[in-house]
Amino acid sequence: MSLSPAATEILFAIGAGDQVVAADEFSTYPAQAPTTDLSGFEPNVEAVAAYEPDLVVVAYDPGDLVASLDALDIPVFVNAPPADVESGYDDIAALGLLTGHVDETADVVAQMRAEMDDAYAAAPEGAQVRVYHEVDDTFFAASSSSFIGSVYAELGAENIADEADTDASGYPQLTEEAVVAADPELIVITDEIGYGPEEVAARPGWSEVTAVQQDAVVVVDADIASRWGPRLPQLVQTLAEALSEAAAVPAGR
């Protein structure tokens, strides 16, 4: 059983999909995932136990879920969000070992590494484009200490959220004034936050931001951006292309 959307994607990718008896409400990919109304944030121990799983994969341990399932002799694997890409590969390997799909997992990891290398190679060399990855409209942002931030770092971008992330939380809250003053050359938002590039551009004072002037406000798939999984190379390719386009536009356009 998977109570983690990222783990669900991985399990199907490594050939363990048939072993997944149930998945949480947000496990929407792939289409054949056995999505239920189970919650990974507020899990119901009795509902989980009713499926008689041999293993439960979770991203967190809310409400002492692990201890509760352990008392019922149900093994749990906490597949926490990785801090960086390399840690993510280790997580995939762990799931392969737990489910008996070691060879398939090795193939998936090798394919991902190759695709990621290709995506990284598409990034502009030495440009250090200033990037702002907005999480919501209260100006929480992804810094280099987050998983997605580690991708920007690997792409050679300069993350404007890093200065505010004094405790390395990965997701500091910036002020609107700080974002404008940092003048990002690329702004990235996701498709689930309820607004788009037009709304970002219409914010008071943002017309002076280079990313707005250069039409470099990019919308990415929220699921891929927030989950570690086999589709990550698609996101990295999109970001690499966006960084290249931002780097190619002369300042003051």
Over residues 62-87, the pLDDT tens digits come to: 888 999 999 999 999 999 888 888 89
Do 130 and 97 lie in one domain? The reply is no
Number of Cβ within 10 Å of residue 165's Cβ equals 21
pLDDT of residue 76: 95
Closest CA relative to residue 2, chosen from 23, 26, 32, 28: 23
Q: Are 143 and 162 in contact (CB under 8 A)?
A: yes
Q: If DSSP codes are grouped into helix, strand and coil, which group holds residue 82?
A: coil
Tell me the CATH number at 216. Answer: 3.40.50.1980
Domain that holds residue 100: 5-116
Do 103 and 148 lie in one domain? The reply is no
Tell me how far apart the alpha carbons of residues 164 and 32 are, in angstroms, rounded to a whole number: 41
Do 39 and 148 lie in one domain? The reply is no
Do 64 and 133 lie in one domain? The reply is no
Do 178 and 95 lie in one domain? The reply is no
Do 108 and 132 lie in one domain? The reply is no
Do 198 and 219 lie in one domain? The reply is yes
DSSP single-letter state for residue 227: S
pLDDT tens, position by position, 190-211: 998 899 999 999 999 999 999 9
- pLDDT band for position 253 (cuts 50, 70, 90): very low
Q: Point out which residues pair with 189 in neighbouring strands.
A: 219
The answer as to whether 253 is a domain residue is no
pLDDT tens, position by position, 20-62: 999 999 999 999 999 999 999 999 999 999 999 999 999 989 8
pLDDT of residue 250: 63
Do 81 and 153 lie in one domain? The reply is no
Tell me how far apart the alpha carbons of residues 104 and 63 are, in angstroms, rounded to a whole number: 34
Q: Are 210 and 180 in contact (CB under 8 A)?
A: no
Mean pLDDT of 155-171: 95
pLDDT above 60 (res 251): no
pLDDT of residue 83: 83
> How many domains, the chain?
2
Tell me how far apart the alpha carbons of residues 97 and 103 are, in angstroms, rounded to a whole number: 9
Angle value at C-alpha 236, between 200 and 190, nearest 5 degrees: 30
Percent of the chain predicted with pLDDT > 70 = 98
The answer as to whether 25 is a domain residue is yes
Give the pTM.
0.89
Report cis status (omega within 30 of 0) of the bond before 75: no
Closest CA relative to residue 128, chosen from 107, 101, 156: 156
Tokens of 172: 């500091």
The answer as to whether 108 is a domain residue is yes
Do 76 and 102 lie in one domain? The reply is yes
